Amino acid sequence: MEPGRRNLITDVTGLLVGSAQDDALKSGSTVVMADKPFTASVHVMGGAPGTRETDLLAPDKSVAAVDALVLSGGSAYGLDACSGVVDGLRAVGRGFRVGPATIPLVPGAILFDLLNGGQKDWDENPYRALGRAAFEDASEDFALGTSGAGTGALTGMMKGGLGSASLVLPDGCTVGALVAANPVGAVTTPGDKHFFAAPFEIGEEFGGLGPDPASGLGLTLQSRKMRAMSLRENTTIAIVATDATLTKAECQRVATAAHDGIARATVPAHLPQDGDLVFALSTDAKPRGDVGLIGHAAALCLARAIARAVYEAKPAPGDLLPCWRDLNA
């Protein structure tokens, strides 16, 4: 296995990603979509999720495919980013047809970034407009780090962000991950230099420094975030994808396996204050694939994507936490 041409989730055949952010707000939204509806499911392992229309992704529910998936900042307010994407899809005639009605299906998930220092004193919820702007921005190339849903993200020790990675499997299908990393836990080991995901790094995609040679890691919960605010402003939300043909039940199994990537890259993970959630989708562009291998690759991609999110984060006025690059200049 090796990364795709872009080392982004858009290496998966048919996928586009759009992001929009407001730097003063210190928040934003990101959408994943394709040129046709796709099969998708979801698995939640965090104790504090925030979601929209995820029930319809259960394997026993009648909806076979959805039109887009949304990741957003803004806590409950950010769920309205899905409405902006719905507006965009409806404008171009996309959606589930019920007689003369067109209903775009857009599940989404949010992270909490309301106390990160941005201007949150709005009169009108800004996330619907951010969702529409993200829809209009959708393309095969997109920025990582302080962008989209990762704009205001914070890990336990430093700024988080938006990350992505991909792998091409031996059978020719591609697996990719997209993540907005805002966890309770740390993504780097004590000392802020080495990434927990370092054993899974390919090339120098997040610095090439290798694993921390120290042992006994993870025995203490150090958190600059807790000192700056509290341990309630969290969540890692992600989308993993493949162009191999999968059923909705198989997508759910891939989403479940992909959570291993969060645990490999973030210590600790899946806490009561996290809303850790992974969507999995299939664009059905290629023949059926090996579900076990796809799930394994999804976990590898997600671990790498989380590290890339932190590695690519950029400083901005009013930041509460430093960036990895500032700490390792």
pLDDT digits (tens, 9 = 90+) for 134-163: 999 999 999 999 999 999 999 988 999 999
16-38 pLDDT, tens digit each: 999 999 999 999 999 999 999 99
What is the predicted pLDDT for the residue at 304? 98
pTM: 0.94
Backbone angles phi, psi at 328, to 5 degrees: -125, 25
Farthest-apart Cα atoms in the chain, separation: 63
Average pLDDT over every residue of 248-263: 97
DSSP letter for 80, please.
T
pLDDT of 232 higher than 80: no
Are 149 and 71 in contact by the 8 Å Cβ rule? The answer is yes
Average pLDDT over every residue of 63-69: 94
What is the predicted pLDDT for the residue at 233? 65
Banded pLDDT at 99 (limits 50, 70, 90): confident
Average pLDDT over every residue of 99-128: 92
Banded pLDDT at 231 (limits 50, 70, 90): low
Strand partners, 267: 186
Are 46 and 58 in contact by the 8 Å Cβ rule? The answer is no
CA atoms within 13 A on the CB side of 69: 30
Residue 318 corresponds to which tokens in the numbers above? Answer: 């009013």
180-198 pLDDT, tens digit each: 999 989 999 999 999 999 9
Work out the mean pLDDT of the chain and round it to a whole number: 93
Nearest to 12 by CA among 175, 254, 202, 177: 175
Banded pLDDT at 97 (limits 50, 70, 90): confident
CA atoms within 13 A on the CB side of 138: 22
Quote the percentage of the chain above a pLDDT of 70. 98
